[in-house]
Chains A and B, each alone.
Chain A
């Protein structure tokens, strides 16, 4: 299957700090998604990106679809304790059958009050 590399693998930050994480692939994707997963729960969609270069915000979250179509970035501004969780990127390939998405390995975020 496809490999999506997420970095960093884990982050420990102080409340109020900004966070940046990214996702890269050797393949070209036509859609990038960012999910957050809390312990014992399923992933929840945060942001969806559909065009190269697209920059989309959702509250304190901002994500960008890389120009090369091989990467995406997620930024969280002014982090708060409830931002704790694992963040996954997911991409849909070009070409694609069955609209299959590939998930990254996740970035674990810990926010220290």
Chain B
């Protein structure tokens, strides 16, 4: 079974630029999560989708972050404009039914200069 795919793996941008990350969950997984992991910290949930609907986006900085999951499969996370403090690894995870059993992708490491 293929795992959660993410791209790109690495991205370097200057502050105030825009960036987008892509995630392809495990086939058949209805729930998709985006996490932000700052160096030295644990992952922090940004947004959770159930199919193509948002379940929880309470910790998403909506003034600059946006995410969508059209057709309930792939998802994109966008940052516009980026700030220095957005430098982090952005992890995507998916789960079939039980939310506990989340499978994570390898992440996208973002560096904002």
Within the assembled complex, what's the spacing in Å between the Cα atoms of A99 and B102? 11
Q: Known: A41-B106, A42-B106, A45-B101. Contact between A1 and B44, CB under 8 A?
A: yes
Residues of B85-110 at the interface with A, using a CB-CB cut-off of 8 Å, are 91, 93, 99-107
Residues of B4-31 at the interface with A, using a CB-CB cut-off of 8 Å, are 4, 31
Would B42 and A98 count as touching, CB distance under 8 A?
no
Q: Which residues of B contact A41 (CB under 8 A)?
A: 104, 106-107
Would A100 and B56 count as touching, CB distance under 8 A?
yes
Would B100 and A33 count as touching, CB distance under 8 A?
yes
Q: Does A88 contact B (CB under 8 A)?
A: yes
Q: Does A40 contact B (CB under 8 A)?
A: yes
Please report whether the interface of chain B is mostly helix, strand, loop or mixed according to DSSP. Answer: loop
State how many angstroms separate the Cβ of B50 from the closest Cβ of chain A: 9
Q: Which residues of A contact B55 (CB under 8 A)?
A: 98-99
Q: Which residues of B contact A79 (CB under 8 A)?
A: none
State how many residues of chain B have any CB contact under 8 Å with chain A.
Answer: 24
Besides A41-B106, A105-B41, 15 new A-B residue pairs in contact (Cβ under 8 A), listed by A number: A33-B100, A40-B106, A42-B93, A42-B104, A42-B105, A43-B43, A44-B104, A48-B100, A90-B42, A92-B99, A98-B58, A99-B31, A100-B56, A102-B42, A103-B43
Q: Which residues of B contact A45 (CB under 8 A)?
A: 101-103
Q: Which residues of B contact A50 (CB under 8 A)?
A: 100
Q: Which residues of B contact A105 (CB under 8 A)?
A: 40-42
Residues of chain A whose beta carbon lies under 8 Å from any beta carbon of chain B: 1, 4, 31, 33, 40-45, 48, 50, 88, 90, 92, 97-106
Within the assembled complex, what's the spacing in Å between the Cα atoms of A31 and B100? 8
Would B105 and A101 count as touching, CB distance under 8 A?
no
* 0 or 1 for each of B59-99: is its CB under 8 Å from A? (1 = yes): 10000000000000000000000000000000101000001
State how many angstroms separate the Cβ of B104 from the closest Cβ of chain A: 3
Within the assembled complex, what's the spacing in Å between the Cα atoms of A41 and B45? 17
